[in-house]
Amino acid sequence: MGSQSDWATMRHAADTLDALGVPFTARIVSAHRTPDRLVAFAKGAKAAGHKVVIAGAGGAAHLPGMAASMTPLPVFGVPVETHALGGRDSLYSIVQMPAGVPVGTLAIGRAGAVNAALLAAAVLALSDPALAERLDAHRARQTAGVAEAPRDEATGG
15 is annotated as contributing to ligand binding: no
Residue 116 touching a copy of itself (CB under 8 A): yes
Residue 15 touching a copy of itself (CB under 8 A): no
Task: Select the residue interacting with a copy of itself from 19, 72, 129, 130 (CB under 8 A).
Answer: 72
Residue 23 touching a copy of itself (CB under 8 A): no
- Minimum distance from residue 48 beta carbon to a copy of itself (Å): 14
Burial class (CB in 10 A: 0-12, 13-18, 19+), 57: buried
Strand pairing partners for 79? 57
Task: Give the burial string for 2-40 (b: 16+ CB within 10 Å, else e).
Answer: bbeebeebbebbbebbeebebeeeeeebbbeeeeeebbe
- Minimum distance from residue 144 beta carbon to a copy of itself (Å): 9
Residue 1 touching a copy of itself (CB under 8 A): yes
Residue 152 touching a copy of itself (CB under 8 A): yes
Distance (Å, rounded) from C-alpha 154 to C-alpha 135? Answer: 32
6 is annotated as contributing to ligand binding: yes
3 is annotated as contributing to ligand binding: yes
- Minimum distance from residue 64 beta carbon to a copy of itself (Å): 9
- Minimum distance from residue 6 beta carbon to a copy of itself (Å): 8
Residue 19 touching a copy of itself (CB under 8 A): no
82 CB neighbour count, 10 Å cutoff: 18
CB neighbour list of residue 118: distance below 8 Å, 6 or more residues apart: 16, 20, 135, 138
Going by the annotation, the residues of the binding site are 3, 6, 33
